[in-house]
Amino acid sequence: MSRLQGCLWALLLVVSGAAAAQEVGMEPAVAVIELYIKGATSVAAPDYSRSLAYSLSSTGRYAVMERDEVAQRFKAVLITPIRKLQAERLEAIERLVREGDQLVYTDPKAAVEVLSQARAQLESIAEGLAANERLRTEFLKTQMLLARSHLDSGNEVKAEDSLREVIRIYGDTLEVTERDYHPRLVKLFQKVKSQMGNERKASLSIESSPPGCDTLLDGRLLVGETPREYRALYPGTHHVQVRCGGKESMIHRVTLKSDEPTHLVVDVGFENALTVENGRLGLIFDSPADAAASSIQYAAKFGSLVNADLVLLHGFLEMGSRAELKAKLIDVKQGVELRAVSVPAKTDVVTPSSVKKIVQVLAATENVRVADTGESSDQGRSRAWYRSWLGWTLTGVGVAALAASGGLFGSYLSHRDSATEPWSELEREQIQQGKAQAVLAARQDEADKAISMRNGAVIAAAVGGALVAGGVVVFILNDKGIMHTKKDGPAFAAVPFSGGAGVAATFAF
């Protein structure tokens, strides 16, 4: 009996053990980003992001990503077009190019050093080549001057390297004639161009949403509209941008290979809504209506780009120094809103009480009513029932207990029959031989085993049924998003009592 009870208690302990194992190291990764409306005041939005990230991390329920880390992950995938270059920066580069241009004819080696500095500065903003014609012009001039300087210094290999990069970026249509360049440089250019002719084996297929967009490869407008496949391209790293009407995508850094086609899908609407300039990190829309229509979908895509599990999207949708700060917690994989809240807050400075209230709601650290955001509260707070690890743990252990109960009940029936069946011929002979005590002892042993199996079956059935029922309840509550407990760990506990055991459940509403 004691061994059987020990096994049953061990089965019950699996619940709490599984819960602890699931909790350690399983906190979802959260990216905190802003929501902007053009024309609405939101000076403190980046500061709200930092404050919300710190407060959310302090709950211990989430692995909140650092703001700089989110930005770095974003920039590793997409590049923001340079819409306005700093005039001083570009003028400084142009001065280096002019200085190098003068040295080409007097001191080629010195020209190489100066022009290399100009090239290094241009390469630091190389993504701008795909979106800024002035940069393209300066980069071409720098590369050609570098090639001329290397050639005059007797380093033809370096000169060829510079010309290779020019051809790869600017294409075969670039005209290099003796009208603009030295005859030796023109001759070398034609030689390199001829050698590279056999390398044009890469291909790039582009799809866009919406279709019918223009494609720019390294700033060059390609023929045809999306969707389209481009062949006979040079392998290597390139920058691709898609433009539709007045909207443009981010710049995609792609690596083309000779032996394998490259496929690129671009969502122009989403990428046009991204904003990572001037300290911002998030989404920007023309109006609150546009934000309501697309913010959840775009935030989930943003989270996917930076490898987050959840996105906390927040922002002001109104004008004024005081407005409603709206926040949403979004499931990246499902693309749905989990919870939403709207609280009064200042737009020019962080108000701690607003941050605290938002975190209380989104992290479900206390049972507070979600403020009206113009959407169904069930929609804003619902979670997929099948994602509850506690529900699955309870149900799984309960089913195992019920299965054990069936086995124990079968053993009970077998031992009971052995204890109560009519005397066998062998037993009659043993009794006649004076061995009645041994026969009775054997029957009593079977009776004791039957009682043990019966009690074990009853306990296992009771516990298993309670656990399965508890699992179903957890699934139901999780789906409706109304079970919020302040304490960590499972809301179920085994309770022993005289002659059996049960399960106690606690819920906070």
Of 147, 180, 198, which residue sits at a domain end? 198
The answer as to whether 438 is a domain residue is: yes
Q: Which residue has the higher pLDDT, 46 or 9?
A: 46
pLDDT digits (tens, 9 = 90+) for 378-420: 444 445 666 677 778 888 888 888 888 888 888 888 888 887 8
Task: Report the number of distinct structural domains present in the chain.
Answer: 4
Mutual angle of helices 183-196 and 133-152, in 10-degree steps: 110
pTM of the model: 0.58
- Write the CATH number for 225: 2.60.40.1120
One domain, residues 318 and 355 = yes
One domain, residues 249 and 263 = yes
Among 26-35, 169-178, 254-263, 295-304, the least confident range = 169-178
The answer as to whether 192 is a domain residue is: yes
One domain, residues 248 and 357 = no
Q: What is the pLDDT of residue 82?
A: 57
Express as a percent the part of the chain with pLDDT over 70.
Answer: 77
Cα atoms in the 13 Å half-sphere on the side-chain side of 210: 5
Of 348, 382, 416, which residue sits at a domain end? 382
Nearest by Cα to 281 from 82, 85, 58, 50: 50
Q: Which residue has the higher pLDDT, 206 or 99?
A: 206
Confidence of residue 1 (pLDDT cuts 50, 70, 90): very low
Of 198, 216, 234, which residue sits at a domain end? 198
Give the C-alpha separation, 313 to 301, whole Å: 12
Give the C-alpha separation, 382 to 473, whole Å: 15
Tokens at residue 437, please? 């005590």
Q: What burial class does residue 91 get, using C-beta atoms within 10 Å of its C-beta: 0-12 exposed, 13-18 middle, 19+ buried?
A: exposed
Confidence of residue 18 (pLDDT cuts 50, 70, 90): very low
pLDDT digits (tens, 9 = 90+) for 208-219: 999 999 999 888
Domain of 213? 202-272
One domain, residues 394 and 374 = no
Q: What is the pLDDT of residue 468?
A: 85
Nearest by Cα to 154 from 117, 191, 112: 112
One domain, residues 72 and 112 = no
C-alpha distances out from residue 477 to 7, 328, 336, 474, 502, Å:
30, 21, 18, 5, 21
The answer as to whether 408 is a domain residue is: yes
One domain, residues 237 and 319 = no
The answer as to whether 9 is a domain residue is: no
Relative to beta strand 29-37, strand 310-316 is parallel
CB 283 within 8 A of CB 273: yes
The answer as to whether 7 is a domain residue is: no
One domain, residues 290 and 247 = no
The answer as to whether 20 is a domain residue is: no
Among 214-218, 343-347, 477-481, the least confident range = 477-481
One domain, residues 109 and 136 = yes
One domain, residues 377 and 403 = no
One domain, residues 298 and 376 = yes
Nearest by Cα to 466 from 439, 500, 428, 443: 500
One domain, residues 102 and 179 = yes
One domain, residues 91 and 143 = yes
The answer as to whether 18 is a domain residue is: no
Give the C-alpha separation, 149 to 107, whole Å: 9
The answer as to whether 14 is a domain residue is: no
- Write the CATH number for 332: 3.40.50.10610
pLDDT digits (tens, 9 = 90+) for 242-266: 999 888 888 888 999 988 899 999 9
